[in-house]
Amino acid sequence: MTVLGDKRGSIRKDSIIISSDLHGSSKFDDNDLPLRSLSCDTSSRLLAFVPTSETGSSPEASAASSTKGKKVNDFKERWAKQQVTAASGRRANAVALVQEIDKERKAERHDWKKVIEDLQHDLEECEMSWETRMSARDRLWEAKMSDTMSACVKDWEAKMSDTMSARDRLWEAKMSDMMSACVKDCEAKMAKNNQDWDTWCKKMEATQKEEKETLTATCEKLVKENAKLTKDFADQVAWQAKVEADLGLLDAIVLRNLIDQAQELLAQMAGLPIDSNTRPSVAWRMHLATEMTDPERLNKAKSLFAQRHDEDATAAMQVLESEGGMLLIKRHSEIREEGDKAAHGPMSHVGVSPTVERQPHKKRGAIMSVITFVCGPESISPSEL
């Protein structure tokens, strides 16, 4: 490091010497001026004192001025040459200085590289020596630890043997006491459970007796109801056989029930006064009984809904203006009393459709309009999908 510092110092001194040579003075002839030591301001001042030609001067003055002009031109030429020579000298010295600095830097890098290589070599030797010492220490440590562990294991086994023997004896004594207490507790719980079981059995016997009596009464009631249902079923079968024997009578009863229910709806929609002892269908027929002919009866029925615009009035006018309207205003013949029971049930499309199919084709349209009025629009059953 000291050598490198000395070299840098020598380089700085050389550069200072060179720079002083670059800016030093040069030798000229006796007629030359030391122009290099003059600054630009001084040269400009000298040039300012050079006299110029004046108009109307004498021949001697003109000759003198021309001589001075030549000297000035010569002075300028020498000045330019000196500047070029000085610049080329400075460039040559600067190049030499840069080359010298490069050489010094290369030498420094070479020295540093050698120092680094020496340090790396020393580091490798230290690492190898350290690994050797560490491996020897590890082997010694392993041997010591092995002996120590063997001694510890033997000591621990001896202590554990004594401890386990004492612990086993203590554990056996505790287990014996615990088993004795557990047996006594189990015997007490078993006695209590037996007592609770006897109480529960007696309670269950009483409950079963009550349930048996209740089931017996229920069975007797069901037997009576079954007998009644059997009798009703037999009566229904007999009635069904009787009705099936006379399909014409059944059709008349079904149609009578259909017309009767339609007249009940019309009476309710019209708001006719209905007595508690009079059916709405009878009130409807009594309201129309004053008219003798069917057209008059139909007009009177329509007059009940002519001034109204609600949904009921619209539905009533539609059914009265349809083919089935005449069926709802005519007088009906007397119906057998036995057919009323079968005919008074609620109407449905499914129940009436067989009856409609057995009617003449010309009557079906009128009957279906009344069925739609009573039962509403026919819906599609899930079986038909």
Q: What is the four-CA torsion angle of 57, 58, 62, 67, rounded to 10 degrees? A: -130
Confirm whether 62 is domain-assigned.
no
Tokens 């001067």 -> residue? 57
| Contacts (Cβ under 8 Å, ≥6 apart) of 105 | none
Residues 344, 257 contacting (CB under 8 angstroms): yes
Residues 262, 367 contacting (CB under 8 angstroms): no
3-class DSSP state of 366: helix
Confirm whether 114 is domain-assigned.
no
Q: Which helix (H) or strand (E) holds 100?
A: helix 59-245
Confirm whether 354 is domain-assigned.
yes
Number of domain units in the chain: 1
First vs last C-alpha separation in the chain: 110
Per the structure, the complete domain to which residue 369 belongs is given by 246-384
Supply the pLDDT for residue 385: 32
Confirm whether 347 is domain-assigned.
yes
Confirm whether 127 is domain-assigned.
no
* pTM for the structure as a whole: 0.32
Supply the pLDDT for residue 330: 78
Q: Give the span between the Cα atoms of 324 and 369, in whole angstroms.
A: 6
352 by Cβ neighbours in 10 Å (0-12 / 13-18 / 19+) ranks as buried
Confirm whether 262 is domain-assigned.
yes
DSSP 48-83: HTS----TT--HHHHHHHHHHHHHHHHHHHHHHHHH
Q: Give the span between the Cα atoms of 21 and 319, in whole angstroms.
A: 140
DSSP 215-280: HHHHHHHHHHHHHHHHHHHHHHHHHHHHHHH-HHHHHHHHHHHHHHHHHHHHHHHHT----TTS-H
Q: Which helix (H) or strand (E) holds 349?
A: helix 349-357
Confirm whether 184 is domain-assigned.
no
Confirm whether 32 is domain-assigned.
no
| Tens digits of pLDDT across the chain (385 residues) | 444 444 444 444 444 333 444 444 444 344 444 444 444 444 444 444 444 444 445 677 777 778 878 888 888 888 888 888 888 888 888 888 898 898 888 888 888 988 998 898 888 888 888 888 888 888 888 888 888 988 889 888 888 888 888 888 888 888 888 888 888 888 888 898 888 998 999 889 899 989 999 999 999 989 988 988 887 777 667 656 655 645 666 777 777 788 888 889 999 998 988 888 888 988 988 888 888 888 888 899 999 998 888 998 899 999 999 988 888 887 654 443 445 555 566 677 777 777 888 888 888 889 888 888 888 887 544 334 3
> What are the structure tokens assigned to 306, written together?
């002519």
CA distances from 108 to 6, 94, 103, 203 (A): 12, 21, 9, 116
**Length, in residues, of the chain:** 385
Supply the pLDDT for residue 342: 57
DSSP designation for 304: T
